[in-house]
Amino acid sequence: MTQCIICEKELLPVMEGHEANEQYLGAGEVKMAFDYGSRYDWMGYTEPVYEGPVRTVKVGDFEVEIQDVVGGKPTEDTLKSEDRAKQLSGCNRISAQLCDDCFAAKAHLFRGYQDRERII
């Protein structure tokens, strides 16, 4: 069952049997990100994912092995935590649903951006 994150009203999928597409009648998706300054900054709950060959580069008088980091994944401790917020902060996408009525009621708390520029 999917609910609005504010009023917890049950939301019905746009197409029955297709809940995985996360489209619900009278609601929209809210995406969350916790960055530097938050105790839920994802950096503390993930480990790097490496890809490609290990290469050696010269840094001053030293040779250092490097490999491309292509992302992160939650650590085992994060996934096994009893703290749901900590578990979620290890994910690279955190989302929820917000019903149209709650969005309208809380619209004064949102900011509007076009690309990276705040416009409202």
pLDDT tens digits for range 45-100? 888 888 888 899 888 898 888 888 877 888 888 899 999 998 988 888 899 999 99
At 92 the three-state DSSP class reads: coil
What contacts 41, CB < 8 A, 6 or more positions away? 34, 35, 89
At 22 the three-state DSSP class reads: coil
Strand partners, 8: none
**Is it the case that residue 42 has pLDDT exceeding 80?**
no
**β pairing state of 94-99 and 46-59:** unpaired
DSSP H/E element including 94: strand 94-99
Distance from C-alpha of 60 to C-alpha of 51, rounded to nearest angstrom: 25
The per-residue pLDDT for 91 is: 84
Q: What is the span of the domain harbouring residue 98?
A: 2-118
Q: How many domains does the chain have?
A: 1
Global pTM reads: 0.72
Instruction: Using pLDDT thresholds of 50, 70 and 90, give the confidence band for residue 20.
Output: low
**Is it the case that residue 6 has pLDDT exceeding 90?**
yes
Q: What is the DSSP string of 41-83?
A: -GGGGEEEEEEEEEEEEEETTEEEEEEEEEEEEE-HHHHH-S-
Q: Kindly report which listed range (24-28, 36-40, 53-57) carries the lowest average pLDDT score.
A: 36-40
Question: How many CA atoms lie within 13 Å of 105's alpha carbon, on the beta-carbon side?
Answer: 8
